[in-house]
Each structure stands twice: as C-alpha cells, then as structure tokens.
Amino acid sequence: MIAVIDKTKFYELFCFILTSARGCVDEPPIYGPLRLLDTYSRLIDALDEGSVDPFWQELKEQIDSYKNDAMYDAEGFVKAIDQTLAAVAQHIQEKGIEGEA
C-alpha cells in the first residue's frame, strides 16, 4: 500500500523539522528526542487515513501518551522510548518492516 501525504501537510512537517533543528540548539538536550517523537507523530497524522498499518498508528498513540514526560520525568521518558524501541524490534522480527512477513 502506498501512503500519500498532502503537499500542505508535507510543507508544514518540513517547517516543523527545520524549526526543531534550530530549537535544539538552545533547548535542553532532552528536547531533541521529544522533537523527533513529535515529528513521528506528525508524520503519521499527515498520511492519508487508512494508509497506515495499525501497528504504526498504535505506536503513535503510545508515543503521544508519554512524549511530554520529557519535560517532567526524563528518566521515565527514556524508559518509555526504550520500551517503544523494544516493541518495534519485536514487530519487525515477527512481521517485517511493513507487517507482512
């Protein structure tokens, strides 16, 4: 399945990535991972509805539930990222990158 992104959403995401790069210069280091996770979330939101595999959509919802913890609980935030990565690794091992293995 080919996912399509609207041009306007693409440019909004592009601008977010660029401004995030600048923000990372002056912000606390923990904000870098936060911005990357927010980029993932925004990218999933920008794709056509129904074109995202349910695993990746659920992953977005999981990330959205903890990403702002970076500002209040850095240790918990990092632990949540590690758990997310473990889930991704398991998914890829079991089903492949596109969930079709």
Q: pLDDT tens-digit profile of 4-13? A: 888 899 999 9
Taking the C-alpha atoms of residue 50 and residue 67, their distance in angstroms, rounded to an integer, is: 24
Give per-residue pLDDT as tens, 38-71: 999 999 999 987 888 899 999 999 999 999 999 9
Enclosing domain of residue 54: 7-95
Long-range contacts at 89-93 (CB < 8 A, ≥ 24 apart)? 91/55
In a domain, 49, yes or no: yes
The candidate with the shortest Cα–Cα distance to 44, out of 55, 63, 57, is 57
In a domain, 2, yes or no: no
Q: Which residue has the higher pLDDT, 75 or 97?
A: 75
Q: How many domains does the chain have?
A: 1
Residue entry with tokens 């990218």: 43
Q: Are 99 and 91 in contact (CB under 8 A)?
A: yes
